[in-house]
């Protein structure tokens, strides 16, 4: 009974002990070795005790343990004036050498325990530690993705970017113009809509969808070159010592400085497989366009008088080559004379594609009175999503001239 009472008193005494658990370093970086210190005043140490044990969690690794007697400063509550006073005692200081995991954020380092009078006792059930990204690591990481990995020659596809910025990134300055070479025809998106997500520890992820659209000009395995982003990063803090003479006395002070350094982040290049257009089923009047297209042809009127004109109106739109649509082959119009056509080409962004529209207007003047037959006008293209050639036709028309 007496032994049990002594054991209980020993545990109660340690529970009320003025121990401190601290991290020696001001900042812990991923993969860095740091030191966890347990400080206990000598006068409060249990006599019958084991060496403290650190049971690590979350990929922290214990490398070693040192123990020494040193002065310990702590804040204690005074009963006389219900205030605080600073107390200095000699303490037993246990220093655990720990290696941080290769990840950032706030994590539970683990638990501290030891045996007091033969019974296991918890010193601290958990201890939260913040792991920061090393200043030597890139403050910005960039990646590039393609909307398609396999395309046909002449087929449109988009590339997007992701920018992962970390706590030491001061801002993205922009990107240089990129040369896609002769392998691709490129179209830059001037109406970018970015999407950003923020995480803990000043991290953020910015997505730039469909920053460029590309059209391969030949078949084979083609490489989209790496893309470069410029940004500003904070360097590792440096302590600067300064001395100042005042009235014959030397005063020394220190200050911490951090430089802002311009750096570059590169995406990895991307390989794209470009398939040749199939020869089987290719129409003799194939326009050369690749994509999904709409084709319309009409006349503003079909009854006119000699000396008047009628207008042939052709509208072609599709998501193939950007800013370029070939003209349809026109039938024999020798019964008419015509002026140079008015051609208007426009591009617009629609969802994840760029639609090119071509409007053609051509005035026709009949040479003679009578009834004239104008044959149908056709237009063909290759639809990569359906993997086949498609054709649209309009007409024929009957034109009456008085």
Q: Could you tell me the residue ranges of all domains in the chain?
A: 2-131, 140-274, 293-401
Q: Please say whether the beta carbons of 181 and 225 come within 8 A.
A: yes
Q: Tokens standing for 126?
A: 């958990």
Predicted confidence at residue 101, as pLDDT, reads: 97
Predicted confidence at residue 15, as pLDDT, reads: 45
**What whole-number distance in Å separates Cα of residue 352 and Cα of residue 209?**
9
Query: What would you report as the CA-atom Rg of the chain, rounded to the nearest whole angstrom?
Result: 39
293-401 matches 2-131 in CATH topology: yes
CATH class of 2-131: mainly beta
CA atoms within 13 A on the CB side of 265: 26
Predicted confidence at residue 301, as pLDDT, reads: 94
Predicted confidence at residue 85, as pLDDT, reads: 54
Domain over 293-401 is classified CATH 2.60.40 = yes
Whole-angstrom CA distances from 249 to 35, 91, 294 are 38, 37, 87
pLDDT per residue, tens digit, the chain (402 aa), is: 333 333 343 444 444 457 899 999 989 999 999 999 999 999 888 889 999 999 999 999 999 999 998 887 655 444 444 455 556 678 899 999 999 999 988 999 999 999 999 999 999 999 999 999 898 899 999 999 999 999 999 999 999 999 999 988 988 988 877 888 899 999 999 888 888 998 876 789 999 999 999 999 999 999 999 999 999 998 888 888 888 888 778 878 888 788 889 999 999 999 999 999 999 999 999 999 999 999 999 999 999 999 999 999 999 999 999 999 999 999 999 999 988 999 999 999 998 999 999 999 999 999 999 999 999 999 999 999 999 999 999 999 999 999
Predicted confidence at residue 86, as pLDDT, reads: 59
**What whole-number distance in Å separates Cα of residue 126 and Cα of residue 20?**
14
Q: Tokens standing for 387?
A: 């993997």
Q: How many residues does the chain have?
A: 402
Predicted confidence at residue 4, as pLDDT, reads: 36
Predicted confidence at residue 75, as pLDDT, reads: 54
Q: Which of 35, 40, 100, 39 is nearest to 65 (CA)?
A: 35
Predicted confidence at residue 73, as pLDDT, reads: 64
């Amino acid at each position: 009974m007496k032994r049990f009472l002594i054991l209980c008193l020993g545990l109660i005494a340690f529970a009320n002990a003025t121990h401190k658990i601290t991290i020696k370093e001001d900042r812990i970086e991923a993969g860095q070795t740091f030191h966890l210190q347990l400080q206990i005043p000598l006068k409060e140490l249990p006599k019958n005790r084991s060496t403290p044990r650190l049971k690590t969690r979350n990929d922290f690794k214990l490398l070693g343990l040192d123990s020494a007697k040193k002065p310990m400063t702590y804040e204690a509550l005074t009963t006389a004036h219900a205030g605080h006073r600073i107390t200095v005692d000699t303490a037993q200081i246990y220093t655990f050498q720990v290696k941080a995991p290769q990840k950032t954020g706030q994590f539970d380092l683990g638990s501290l325990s030891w045996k007091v009078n033969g019974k296991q006792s918890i010193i601290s059930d958990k201890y939260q530690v913040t792991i920061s990204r090393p200043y030597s690591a890139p403050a910005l990481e960039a990646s590039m993705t393609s909307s398609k990995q396999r395309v046909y020659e002449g087929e449109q596809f988009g590339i997007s970017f992701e920018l992962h910025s970390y706590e030491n990134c001061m801002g993205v300055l922009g990107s240089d113009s990129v040369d896609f070479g002769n392998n691709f025809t490129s179209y830059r998106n001037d109406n970018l809509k970015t999407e950003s997500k923020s995480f803990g520890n000043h991290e953020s992820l910015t997505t730039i969808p469909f920053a460029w659209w590309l059209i391969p000009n030949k078949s084979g395995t083609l490489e989209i070159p790496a893309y470069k982003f410029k940004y500003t990063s904070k360097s590792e803090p440096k302590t600067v010592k300064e001395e100042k003479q005042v009235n014959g006395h030397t005063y020394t002070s220190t200050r911490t400085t951090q430089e802002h350094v311009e750096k570059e982040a590169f995406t990895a290049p991307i390989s794209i497989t470009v398939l040749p257009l199939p020869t089987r089923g290719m129409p003799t009047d194939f326009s050369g366009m690749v994509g999904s297209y709409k084709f319309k042809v009409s006349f503003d009127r079909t009854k006119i008088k000699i000396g008047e004109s009628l207008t042939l109106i052709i509208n072609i739109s599709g998501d193939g080559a950007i800013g370029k649509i070939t003209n349809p082959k026109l039938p024999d119009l020798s019964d008419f004379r015509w002026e140079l056509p008015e051609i208007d080409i426009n591009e617009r962004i629609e969802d994840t594609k760029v639609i090119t529209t071509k409007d053609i207007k051509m005035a026709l003047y009949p040479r003679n009175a009578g009834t004239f037959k104008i044959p149908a006008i056709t237009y063909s293209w290759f639809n990569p999503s359906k993997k086949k050639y498609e054709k649209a036709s309009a007409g024929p028309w009957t034109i009456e001239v008085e």
